[in-house]
Structure 1
Amino acid sequence: MASVKKPRPLPADDVESIFSTFERIDPEPKGELEYINAFTLLVAVVLSAQATDVGVNKATRQLFQIAPTPAAMVALGQEGIEAHIRTIGLYRNKAKNVFLLSRKLIDEHGGEVPSTREALEALPGVGRKTANVVLNIFFKQPTIAVDTHLFRVGNRTGLAPGSTPLAVEQALMKTVPEKYLLHAHHWLILHGRYVCKARKPECWRCAIAQWCRYEPKTPLSKARAS
């Protein structure tokens, strides 16, 4: 990810205001990937790398009906998995990882998805971000998965300036009040996806603009105003 100029970190009162605002607007934020159980969530997150949630959902709806368990996925085979996810970028490598991680879940975890980061990261195709998503969504652990949206928001706002995803993650874990940690991941990603956009953030409709360090704020265009 490209380096960014770091704004001054936000004071604790501003951080509290930001997350209390997120909570008021959306008390129970949800991820946009569709899944049936812990296994299908894990597969969906692996497939979502460099792909949109919408695209992954379209590809996995039938796949998850046919193969909702590691055993069913292994029975489908790598080529069978490929046939269902051809519309997703890097589908061949992703199909290989899904097949291999399914087999490893059977061989080493009794077909169950483990609930620790170490065990998840030992699975093919699973990195820290993927592990954090599964731990947060399914196992309700207060983890923060830093994707490009969250990396951008953490830096722009001053919530967690950092030059790497890990630095932003670690800063957020220290900065976000404990009572907000479970949902912080979703609030920030959804904010980055729909409001604090990469090319032109919509500051004019941002609920946390008054505390954000991003300058200059993007004004409402004349076309939109009319």
Structure 2
Amino acid sequence: MRHANVVILTDEAEFARLLTACWQAERQAPVITVLTSELWQQQEAPACDLVVVGPMREGKLTNVLRSLDPSTAVILCVPADSKEFGLLRSKYPRLVHVPLREDWAHTLMLVAGESLRRVEAMRLAKQAECLAAKNENHATLGRYMLEMKHSVNNALTSMLGNAELLLLEPGQLSSQSLAQIKTIHSMALRINEVMQRFSSLASEMQEAENASQAETQETGSPTSPYP
């Protein structure tokens, strides 16, 4: 399973130390990066799944939150009576806040766990969407090839027939022309084998789809409680 990336953003070393220790005690700890507000402003924000914003020096919190990517999950852990927090809460109504009180570490770990699970679920959903789009492109190509199968087979039949007629009278052809016709005949046979394989795959896929639909219908059909 992929390890989550967490950034602890705080100017209070004890906050970062305690939170890091709590995470490291977990069975599957995330990759943790600890940054102060100054380091955060001096470098590009690292790629992460969750940012935990802890206590900061006066006036730094607003600038830090303003610099965060709106799509990043953020947990703010500051005293609830902070003047700056009151302004931020009205500006960022979706901001997740864990009050900095006696049991803050336990509460934050629970909230962070849910946030990371949500981030992972969204990542998997996006990955599934990309895979579905890719499969749809493949399906479109497959449908086109099936639709063109008849035309390709007709063209191959003509190529093979004419090549075989020419090969029946090899004495009328130069050695170079004879070799070229044999090559055309051989390649046409190979293409024909590929087309036959496409036909077999189409039949197998159709049978599997029919069986799946029949199973779904049987499962979804209500059963009568009476014999």
Considering Cα pairs closer than 8 Å and 6+ residues apart, tell me whether 1 or 2 has the greater RCO.
Answer: 1
TM norm structure 1 = 0.24
Higher normalized helix content (fraction of residues): 2
Of structures 1 and 2, the larger Rg is shown by 2
Higher normalized strand content (fraction of residues): 2
TM norm structure 2 = 0.23
